[in-house]
Amino acid sequence: MKKLIGIEVIFLTLFSCQYLDTLHSDHTLTEKIEAEFNSDSEIIDLTELNNFEWEALLILGPYSVIENIEKELNLDLENIRENGIEFSDSINLLIFLKNGKSVKISEVSREIGDFTNMGEVIKKNGVKFVKTANRVNKLAE
């Protein structure tokens, strides 16, 4: 009986650690991003909207399967696999990366428009966007 309880405790500990490491949308960052896109400014520079370390940005659109993107782009997105983007059509998922691993995410409403560079890893110095009617286009480098 003690062995069974010990095994259950180990299993629950390992199982719960997976969820403790899961990233959730940063609401403050999301508000800043959406406010910038709703402003009168035509060009949006995402490098100026945060105070954490990151190297690149990945934008996923509705119904994206994180496991497939992770394999295709050789990234470590394990800590966001439980995100609801796979089943949602109301958000775009902005994933901030450092050393090929997701460090912060933002669920941005599609009401601001859809991004054109979905599924592409964009280096930090290239995360400037131009707003057009219902579209958010990456500025050419």
Among 34-43, 48-57, 85-94, 112-121, name the most confident range: 85-94
Whether 15 is covered by a domain: the verdict is: no
Q: Does position 109 have pLDDT exceeding 70, yes or no?
A: yes
Query: In Å, what is the CA distance from 35 to each residue of 30, 46, 96?
Result: 8, 12, 18
Q: What is the pLDDT of residue 18?
A: 44
Q: Does position 126 have pLDDT exceeding 60, yes or no?
A: yes
Whether 9 is covered by a domain: the verdict is: no
Whether 115 is covered by a domain: the verdict is: yes
Percent of the chain with pLDDT over 70: 79
Residue with tokens 């497939």: 68
Q: What is the pLDDT of residue 60?
A: 94
Whether 17 is covered by a domain: the verdict is: no
Whether 51 is covered by a domain: the verdict is: yes
Q: What is the pLDDT of residue 30?
A: 92
Q: What is the pLDDT of residue 139?
A: 61
Whether 114 is covered by a domain: the verdict is: yes
Tokens for 140? 């050419």
Q: Does position 136 have pLDDT exceeding 80, yes or no?
A: no
Residue 58 is part of which domain span? 24-138
How many Å apart are CA 77 and CA 74, to the nearest integer?
A: 9
Which has the closest alpha carbon to 44: 60, 53, 33, 52? 33
Total structural domains within the chain: 1
Whether 4 is covered by a domain: the verdict is: no
**Sign, Cα dihedral of 29, 44, 108, 56:** negative
Average pLDDT over residues 48-57: 86
pTM value?
0.80
pLDDT tens digit string along 11-23? Answer: 554 444 444 468 8
In whole numbers, what is the pLDDT of the chain averaged over residues? Answer: 82
Whether 13 is covered by a domain: the verdict is: no
